[in-house]
Structure 1
């Protein structure tokens, strides 16, 4: 396991933790994917399907999280396999811009990459209109108002996955995808998977395999 120094992104110093060679047996996680019942979660804006993480994964992830910040214990509240498969043409407008997972500033998000390039990693963003890089409860109303102003200024976002060209946003950082790389970051920061080059047809083994999780301090 290789724990890189924390990377601070943007004007709000959003922390990004990167761990390479994260899991001791990543092939077992890939094997588990084939045995899981993937489905869509009701009310979930994730542009694809999910399945439960393998037994023991949450406990392992909690131990790895301690390697990034031993000053606080993080508890996994959700961990799932996630495979993005949706055609960009069918995305809802909210899926075409960077997003945040929760307004809770104590919650962290994790993405564990179980695939290889040419799949791409994860981008982190600042909303140009408000200057926000993280959205907490005190900013939620101004964030919504900012999106309304964006719609008036730019129109609806183009029918594509968000990236550094998305109107109204500036990219402040990026985590490259590497097999068995784990990244952790605040769950209330603006981010988006780089899904423009993601394979959505063909065999399952060619798709963008990840394990995603939310962890509570």
Structure 2
């Protein structure tokens, strides 16, 4: 069977059953749960400290009514970050390279922020579609442009994380293939390419972390725009 570089992004199946559900459950199964002990272990302490630190930094610029979103945004951050990092391991599948999954996360969250704004402050939310002091002839085209800009936000969220992770995985795949191909014939060039592969892996590790953070931060900014 002929394989292509893009086959690594297809959902794996076992006996006709897609295994993407197992990939999505892995982050949940990896994190330890709290127990009734007064003194927890080191892993639980580090997890609690990291979660509290990120939640505090995320909710800092958001007003008080938006703090009820802290659990949702922190959980989403943990899911995306863990999925991105697990996808860098050999013989694994990265669910966040699927545009359908990313749009499935981005569209409902973005729509919830918009509906909150229309419910709590409809005048201010609709005022975002038209800048103050706009000349009368420019009002219809500006409203159309701002409406398109508003509707394209969830698509940009999903496409951004998909494109960055897909491009990084493809670069690593191409570079590793070059290393294995050049090793029997030109070992020196193969070793030099392996250094590039190592640097690309570090870069992709940073991209996996940054894209998860950017996804959640943009959602928090959209939330801040629609609450008082």
Provide TM-score, normalisation by structure 2: 0.28
When you count helix as a share of all residues, which structure comes out higher? 2
Question: Which is greater in Rg?
Answer: 2
